[in-house]
Structure 1
Amino acid sequence: MPRPATRPHPHARRASAFALLLALLPALTIASQPRDAPAAVDALDQQIATRMQEGGMVGMAAMIVIDGQVRWTGSHGWADRERGIAFTPDTVMNIASISKTVTGAAMMRAVEDGLLELDRDINAYLPFAVTNPAFPDVPITLRQLATHTSSLEDRGDAYATGYHYGGDSPVTLAAFLADYFDATTGADPARNFAPHAPGTHHAYSNIGAALAGYIVERATGEPLPDYTRRVLFAPLGMDSTVWRLADVPPERQARLYVRQMGLAIPLPWYGLATYPDGGVRSSVNDLGRFFLALLGGGAHDGRRILGEASAREMLRLQFDAAHHPANLDPASRNSGLFWSTKLGATLVGHGGSDPGLKTEMLFDPAEGVGIVLFTNTSVCSDGMKPFVDLLGDLRSYARSLKGTPPVQ
């Protein structure tokens, strides 16, 4: 039975595993664990296998960070079932909407460098107009794009055309957005906007994130993939993280699966014209470095990607009792800049869902515990509970590590 290679932590021990799905899946590989907790690791192994079977997940990898340190990484199942390639913490796959946090960090870097202003009318940066026709005198700002309060709405029929199966999208981000907001194409401009003034209503918008990424490109003079490689990925040693499908060797990239009638059906890889809202391809190990840098005030392992003030502003909860969208109670739900709270505002981070995958990157400020979790299988309504339960299992295991020293 194949087992993924153990790379990140040379002193780690491998956990024993039990068979799953008639012994077809590779067992859990533990890349980092406490020295004295084999029973807890075995229990986690069994919990992960059970959740994967319940949710029909083909492969997964996860990381636990505690108080700014990686304390555990592990993986289970297949990155590519048909070719017998095991999933590992170094497997690369789409991270979907977690990509918005990368776009947010790039935006904050451009703000820090004096190229952008969070509260300026975005039309100052665009070659086409983006204005809610019901409120023509109310400007839309980057801060509103990043908190999903811009009044922009995803026009589903047009937005869906941004997915390109079989490779990277041949349509550029600039061309897609120019067409999307072009009233002469026959689309009713009002369909792009909610009937609320910018800044007064919270509504999640992918197109708003794509627009923010395009504004970063306009301000920096670089495509977002190149800019983020230079100022974010390379400084952190995120050598496996890219935006373009063509930049990932096929043997490194997870196959994606969608569940249909109890079966996991492989999908072709795909790219997005609106890549700033969901196009990053990364591994658990790479994304963990980015996560720790943001949680660490803009730096990790001595490598800085943002100033402390910029990192704090990105993670700062933007709403309070006196200032919040009318449809949002900040005590139970809040937002950073392309970050959000979950579970009654007890966790902060971002998740991602796209055809063939589900991802989460979450932090518990009270406990100092963060979780990164990837699965290369669509999580449908009947699979959401096992996925959420798996997150809970990882958080419980993290609590058991809190009182133990890291492996040296």
Structure 2
Amino acid sequence: MRRSIFWLASALALASSSALQSQTPALDSLITLKMTDANVMGLAAAVIVDKKVVWMKGFGYADWQRTRPFMPSTVMNVASIAKPFVGVAMMRAVAAGKLSLDSDVNQYLPFRVVNPYRPAERITLRHLATHSSSITDRWEVYRQTYRFGGDPTEPLGEFLAAYFTPGGKYYAKDNFLEARPGELREYSNIGAALAGYIVERAVGAPVNVYTKRNIFTPLGMTHSGWFMREVDMKNHSTLFVSQNGQTVPILHYGGTTYPDGGLRTSVEDLSKFFIAMLNDGAFGGVRILDAPSAAEMRRFQFTDGNRPTNFPAEDGNSGLFWRTKFNGLRRGHGGNDPGVEVEMLTDESRRVGVIYFSNTSLSGTDRKATGDIFNALWKYGETQRKNP
């Protein structure tokens, strides 16, 4: 009975495919024009109003041969949108008493993580989740974590131990900032991966296994996974890089530090997760996170008393793997990686939300196309609120 109720609720929340792809000629024309101008191969998006999808559509193609339309059900990498999934897993472990946001992370690890410039200062999960841990991504190491042509082969724990342990293969003092934890904001993918590894040890399962069991399956996210082996690659978009007026396909890739950006999902699937986050952790009669934990993820963590010195109030604020963008006007998360431009953002009221996937990396003035399309989708959502 519970399963039947869930699928009925899901159907009502997402509505029918024909209804979600209703006639929106002005919006469709703008999207198509901007895609052409910037050489975007394919994209899909969803507009959410009052925790319901009111519009969902795909444009362009998911392959170089232009034989597969890019659909809301098309799977692709979503880069740093993976981090809120780690955040949910982390907050579930906190709610279960298995982790504390403000304890020294070393009590959860088989190796020690100590900033050599501030050895007496502890690093916490709250630091990791707000990118204020003093851990930095040393590029000559981090770039090696990308594996083009297949899933990663180096175990996450082994990489992290080698990065943080003096004498380790990847260790250097430059893996840290010359600042105490909490003093500076430095976006750190490796810090996020460390949080994911801590969650793994606390819950007794890898992030990919735990999130499938406790997020993907309950929400009916049937096209989502972390590794190529976990998704239908026939439904996976090719990724492209637009440069010098040409759109060039690139190899599929995975990452050793996969909790920081290895998630593969679709607009259709992600809309279920996003609605759950907008709805205090619940979607379609299923709860993936209790309401207080969801509120803590969204809550602004920086105050006048603990704000990083390089992150003034006008630049925005941070939740726990949940952040502000567009000068603090939008909240949620986005992501960029080779062949990937994605956004999952709402406003303070959580009344309007937009999910945007593009399978094409842009640079220079072409990046403006992404902003123009996102803004048009947002305006459509606001219009739907005024004229339901």
TM-score in same-fold range (> 0.5): yes
Q: What's the secondary structure of 1:123's corresponding residue?
A: helix
User: Match of 1:365?
Assistant: 348
Pairing of 1:83-94 with structure 2 (within 5 A):
84-94=67-77
Partner of 1:264: 247
Which shows bigger deviation, 183-192 or 238-247?
Answer: 183-192
2-structure distance, mates of 1:356, 1:367? 29
- Secondary structure of 2:313's aligned partner: coil
Question: Which of 369, 373, 378 does residue 361 from structure 2 map onto?
Answer: 378
Of residues 67, 86, 94, the one that matches 1:111 is: 94
1:21 maps to what in 2? none
Matched with 1:196 is: 179
Q: What's the C-alpha RMSD, in Å, of the aligned pairs?
A: 1.4
Structure number with the higher helix fraction is 2
Task: Report deviation, 1:219.
Answer: 0.8
In 2, the alpha carbon distance for the partners of 1:368 and 1:103 equals 24
Mapped to 1, the partners of 2:350 and 2:181 lie a distance apart of 35
Give the corresponding residue for 2:196: 213
Q: Structure 2: which amino acid aligns with 1:191?
A: D
Partner amino acid for 1:158? V
Whichever residue aligns with residue 287 of structure 2, its letter is R
Q: Residue deviations 1:163-209, cap 9 Å, x none? A: 01111011111111112223214656311111110011111001000
Offset at residue 66 of structure 1 (A): 0.9
Structure 2 residue 237 is the aligned partner of structure 1 residue 254: yes
Corresponding position of 2:16: 10
1:330 matched to 2:313? The reply is yes
SS at match of 2:152: coil
Distance 1:217 1:250 in 2: 26
CA contact (8 A) 1:9 1:32 kept: no
Whole-angstrom CA distance in 2 between matches of 1:362 and 1:188: 36
More moved, 106-115 vs 396-405: 396-405
- Structure 2: 5+ residue stretches without partners: 1-13
Query: Out of 103, 114, 117, which is 1:134 matched to?
Result: 117
Q: How far apart are residue 400 of structure 1 and its match? A: 1.6
Cα distance, 1:322 vs structure 2: 2.8
AA aligned to 2:277 is: L
SS at match of 2:45: strand
Aligned counterpart for 2:285 among listed residues 298, 302, 321: 302
| CA spacing shift, 1:171–1:186, aligned 2, 3 Å | closer
User: 2 CA distance for matches of 1:104 and 1:82?
Assistant: 38
Q: One-letter code of the match for 2:27?
A: L
Cα distance between partner residues in 2 of 1:162 and 1:280? 15
Equivalent in 50, 56, 59 of residue 76 of structure 1: 59
Q: Say whether 1:178 aligns with 2:161.
A: yes
CA drift at 1:401: 1.0
Confirm or deny that 1:356 pairs with 2:362. no
Distance (whole Å) between structure 2 residues aligned to residue 326 and residue 193 of structure 1:
17
The offset of 1:341, in angstroms, is: 0.7
**Structure 2 CA distance, aligned partners of 1:328 and 1:286?**
33
Out of 341, 350, 354, which is 2:324 matched to? Answer: 341
TM-superposition CA deviations, 1:199-234 (whole Å, max 9, x none): 111110010000000101111110110000111111
2:33 is aligned to 50
Question: Normalising by the residue count of structure 1, what TM-score does the alignment of the two structures yield?
Answer: 0.89
Counterparts in 2 of 1:268-307, with a 5 A limit? 268-307=251-290
Work out the CA distance in 1 between the residues paired with 2:166 and 2:337.
29
Superposed displacement of residue 330, structure 1: 2.8
In structure 1, what residue type is equivalent to 2:114?
Answer: T
CA distance in 2, matches of 1:329, 1:345: 11
Name the CA distance, whole Å, in 2 between partners of 1:11 and 1:239: 17
**Farther off after superposition, 233-242 or 329-338:** 329-338
Contact 1:64 1:71 in 2 (8 A): yes
The 1-side partners of 2:147 and 2:155 are apart by 12
Query: Could you give the per-residue CA deviations for residues 111-163 of structure 1, whole angstroms, max 9, x where no partner exists?
Result: 11111110010011111111111111110000000000000000101111110
> Shift in Å at residue 90 of structure 1?
0.4
Mapped contact 2:243–2:363 kept (Cα < 8 A): no
Moved more, 260-269 or 43-52: 260-269
SS of alignment partner, residue 323 of structure 1: coil
* 2-structure distance, mates of 1:186, 1:228: 30
- Tell me how far apart the structure 2 counterparts of residues 50 and 363 of structure 1 sit (CA, whole Å): 25
In 1, Cα distance between equivalents of 2:239 and 2:208: 22
SS at match of 1:85: coil
Return the alpha-carbon distance in structure 2 between the equivalents of residues 245 and 233 of structure 1. 16
* 1:167–1:246 contact (8 Å) kept in structure 2: no
Q: Is the 8 A contact 2:162 2:170 kept in 1?
A: no
The SS at the match of 1:50 is helix
> Which of 387, 397, 400 is the aligned partner of 2:370?
387
1:230 corresponds in structure 2 to 213
CA distance in structure 2 between the partners assigned to 1:260 and 1:331 by the alignment: 33
CA distance in 2, matches of 1:185, 1:125: 19
Which amino acid letter does the alignment assign opposite residue 194 of structure 2? L
